A and B are shown apart, each in its own frame.
Chain A
Amino acid sequence: MINSTVAEISAALAAGDISSVEITQAYLDRIATLNGELNAFITVCEDSALLAAKAADEARANGLDSPLLGIPLAHKDIFCTKDILTTCGSRMLHNFVSPYNATVVERFNDAGTVLLGKTNMDEFAMGSSNETSFFGDVKNPWNTECVPGGSSGGSAAAVAADLCAMATGTDTGGSIRQPAAFCGVTGMKPSYGRVSRWGMIAFASSLDQAGPLAKSAEDAALMLNVMSGLDKKDSTSIDRPIEDFTASLNQPLKGIRIGIPKQHFAEGLSREVEQAVRDALTEYEKLGAIIKEVDLTNSHLSVSAYYVVAPAEASANLSRFDGVRYGYRCEDPVNLEDMYKRTRSEGFGEEVKRRIMIGTYALSAGFYDAYYRKAQKIRRLIKDDFDRAFTEVDVIIGPTSPHTAFKLGSKSDPVSMYLEDIYTIAVNLAGLPAASIPVGIANGLPMGMQIIGKYFDEAKILNVAHQFQQHTDWHKQKSTAITAASGES
């Protein structure tokens, strides 16, 4: 049952074929077997998970039923969880037991889900490989010599290896979609403002957005139903009518207009990934879709603009980590400046420090116009490109990442790592929703396809993804490596 979708587990729970305690225990056992190798979890909440599962079973016995009642999930360790260690993958918060819950956590709790634990991630969500975590690298379940992608690598690996039924992630420049592609799962970054950021440790406030990592588009829709909605504690949370994202999953795709950005099929894209995406497009044509080329003229500037905006916001967001009120403080500071500098230098890892430096520089006197202001203007151009394209098409499809998961330790220079997110970053700059779904396997590693939608058109993206998954089974493929390792048949 642990390799089933949420929709399937939910049906089994409702039918009484299985209890939440049983399925929770099964995941805990699987975590116990595999986490040592995969390092997908930083914290496993065995006792509280079983208690929550028991409570869910009792609630069900008392007549309560809701789609996610009793479903075991994992939260990325960027979400504050009350009375549970919340590290953000950093030494800075290695001892931080949050006194409060993120809104996302609160909403899943209210829906009756069972929290299995907190997943590993790139430190403060800064990375595309999960190699910047203070708690060690996460391994890709398809090939443990490869990275799972990042920054939500722990969540993607956990879903892929059936360590949980579903997981939350966050996406600032591709941090849900790229690991989803590398691990062969379905991930979605909703429209900016769709999901509350309260309690989600900030990386870049104007780009960060939480979303689901799941085994199918349908599961992602079920998760989004719970996660999204107005939260008055977040000024950037959008007040929109509540939607049921599963409602339109089965709409036929006949006549749907799919845009293909020529810039996403240019130099740098690997042949296997290109082929897989083109095959998927052929599948869509069979379903009645109309394929049309679109021009995202300024997309090549997205990485440049992003590496100003995101570090600039991060440089300020991370100033609160100063060793005064919580978290890490250096030993025996000789004075205030020493406390600040050693606390921050010892508490943050290299990549985080690098980005703080870049952001500080971009905002410093004399450079603001050339960097920050310029990047905000590029951001406008990128958004305008999408707005224009969406007058002609309903969704935009392309590769999520130029290639499959790369080897651990193979990208030591930051610039080549930053270019990993070349297809995903523009979406964050524009604030649009986008998903990544599995479209093939090459050399034993999964490949992902990105589906970008109009603002608040998550339902359309999920519909497009679901229809593909109804006609193909790439999303059901499992790594044989892990199945063998865990001794399952």
Chain B
Amino acid sequence: MEWETVIGLEVHVSLSTKSKLFSGSSTEFGAQPNTQASIFDCALPGTLPVFNEEALRMAVRFGVAIGAEIGKRSVFDRKNYFYPDLPKGYQVTQLDFPTVGKGALTVTLADGSEKIIGVTRAHIEENAGKSLHEEFSGMSGIDLNRAGEPLLEIVSEPEITCAEEAVAYLKKLHTIIRYLDISDAIMAQGSMRCDVNVSIRPKGATELGTRAEIKNINSFRFVEKAIHSEVARQQEILEDGGRIIQETRRYNADKDETSSMRSKEVANDYRYFPEPDLLPVVIDDEYIAAVTAQLPELPDARKARFIEDYSLSNYDAGVLVSSRELAEYYEIVATASGDSKLAANWVSQDLLGLLNKHNWEIADSPIQAVRLATLIARIKDNTISGKIAKTVFESMISDESDVDAIIESKGLKQVTDSGEIEKLVLEVIEKNPAQVQQYKDGKEQVIGFLVGQCMQLSKGKANPAQVNELLREKMQ
């Protein structure tokens, strides 16, 4: 039987406010345990929440960025369950009236096609603290620094049909969030987390199959692998005549498989009800307009502009706008070097290759945009060849001196002196009589070999165009 997969994603993003969602405690990463846990965060009796305006603004900013309906009246609810890292015994979240309603993202797939994936909603809620399982005489330690930090939970429509689409959706979400500057969205640090709902059904069926929820996946690659392994598991069960149980599972990367999480509650019953300590959050058109006016240029718009202004291919533009920092870097290189296409090649291939190899961010790059622009300018003005430029680029990684100084000190400057080039050409003609004869007999392509010999002799420094021209002249 042929199967089709239905995937829905729930993504939790830590909003990068300075203080917590409902208290004035710092949200700074990495503080000593419980030093950022106020009397409210510790749920002391009598304490009350007051809503952080910046968390609201960030959520609305996300909403307008994905063209979503904005909840003009959002309501907080209590979600009740007991857990030591949940001090109040309930999490404040938004159930029926979230701040962000229906919206959509456009993702580009590997084959260049585009797909629109719906976002059902995005709601604001509190994070929980952390349970530490190291030994404390057989007990667990609770750190409440993270408790009460603001989260935006973004829920997709079940419109994703494969792992590739899921990853494309996540990456797009990540890009937009970073452009909006509302979260670090670093999966490895937990500031972006993903729960994946997976179900399969016979191809063409209209009803959804029973889903399994894979919790807390912390990298794009694991999302992809977890989906593959979960789909395979479900397929095997169904083909053996079995039944899928609706449950929560976790992905084990070492074994590359998902496994059932022992259910903490006999049956979860969260007993949601409107949070009486908070009133409805009401925003008007003016507020939404002000947030919209402050939106930065978003990836889709920037991509279109890059194609238009810099004559880039759809693919190159897509790569360059995939992160805000990369796009900004590229624009500096393109403008300062005066050659946007050459700049695109260097940024998307050489620079990204370098960063990926060392697992560096743009900010960590030893080669700043202006230096790379100078290097490209030197190719354009024939100071160096494209090939020599690669050598210079390598040197620039460890050598902070300016590009011209590196070219000078290593003697890499292109030879354009016609006397010197003539000497090279004559030497090569003399050493390769057979090839010269072939050329003279009309075997035009031999010229490539001869140019190569000249370049080798000059250690790459000769201007290849000049060499080519002179060779033809001398062999006539």
- Physical interaction between A and B: yes
Of residues 76 to 107 in B, which have CB atoms within 8 Å of A's CB atoms? 78, 80, 82, 84, 87-90
User: Closest Cβ of chain A: how far from B219's Cβ, in Å?
Assistant: 30
Q: Which of A199, A325, A363 contacts B42 (CB 8 A)?
A: A325
Is B46 an interface residue when CB atoms closer than 8 A count as contact?
yes
B238 within 8 A of A: no
Contact, CB under 8 Å: B84 / A324: yes
Q: Does A281 contact B (CB under 8 A)?
A: no
Do residues B44 and A198 form an inter-chain contact, with CB atoms below 8 A?
no
Q: Which residues of B contact A206 (CB under 8 A)?
A: 276
Chain B binder among A15-23, A233-241, A294-302 = A233-241
Check: B365 CB closer than 8 A to any chain A CB. no
A10 to chain B, nearest CB (A): 29
**Which chain B residue lies CB-closest to A231?**
B48
Task: Say yes or no for A370: interface residue by CB 8 A criterion.
Answer: no
B290 at interface (Cβ–Cβ under 8 A)?
A: no
Do B87 and A363 have beta carbons less than 8 Å apart? no
* Chain B residues within an 8 Å CB radius of A99: 39, 44
Convert A198-213 into 0s and 1s, putting 1 for each residue whose CB lies closer than 8 angstroms to a CB of B. Answer: 1111101110000000
Name the residue in A100, A312, A315, A316 with the highest tally of chain B Cβ atoms < 10 Å from its Cβ: A316
Interface membership of A242, Cβ < 8 A: no
For chain B, give the interface size range.
20 to 34
Interface residues on chain A, number (Cβ under 8 Å) = 44
Q: Across the interface, which residues of A come within 8 angstroms of B78, CB to CB?
A: 316
A 72-110 contacts with B by CB, 8 A: 79-80, 86, 88, 93, 96, 98-100, 102
Query: Contacts of B42 on A, CB cut-off 8 Å?
Result: 325-326
Contact check: which of A98, A102, A363 meets B80 at CB < 8 Å?
Answer: A363
Q: Chain B residues with Cβ under 8 A from A336's Cβ?
A: 84
Given contacts A199-B46, A325-B43, contact A364 B87 (CB under 8 A): no
A372 proximal to B (CB < 8 A): yes
- How far is B272's CA from A222's CA once the two chains are assembled, in angstroms? 41
Most chain B CB within a 10 A radius of its CB, from A98, A325, A363, A364: A325
Asked whether, in the complex, the Cβ of A205 is within 8 Å of the Cβ of B82, the reply is no
Cβ–Cβ < 8 Å partners of A365 in chain B: 269, 271
Q: Is A232 touching B276 in the complex (CB atoms < 8 A)?
A: no
Interface set, chain B 273-320, CB cutoff 8 A to A: 273, 276-279
In-complex Cβ contact of B45 among A202, A205, A315, A372 (8 A): A202
A131 adjacent to chain B (CB < 8 Å)? no
Smallest CB–CB gap between A420 and chain B, Å?
A: 24
Contact B277 A236 (CB under 8 A): yes
| B50 at interface by CB-CB < 8 Å | yes
- Complex Cα–Cα for A228 and B50 (A): 19
Q: Is the CB of B45 within 8 A of A235?
A: no
B277: which of A88, A96, A205 is its contact (CB, 8 Å)?
A205
From known contacts A319-B82, A326-B44, A340-B82, infer whether A312 and B273 are also in contact, taking CB-CB under 8 Å.
yes
Q: In whole angstroms, what is the CA distance A363 to B42 when docked?
A: 25
The interface centre, meaning the residue of B45, B47, B273, B276 with most chain A CB atoms within 10 A of its CB, is B45
CB pairs A–B below 8 angstroms (5 shown)? A80-B46, A96-B45, A202-B46, A235-B50, A316-B88
3 nearest CB pairs, A to B: A319-B89, A363-B271, A205-B276
Extra pairs beyond A79-B46, A316-B88 (10, CB < 8 Å): A204-B276, A205-B276, A236-B277, A316-B89, A322-B89, A325-B43, A336-B84, A340-B82, A363-B272, A368-B272
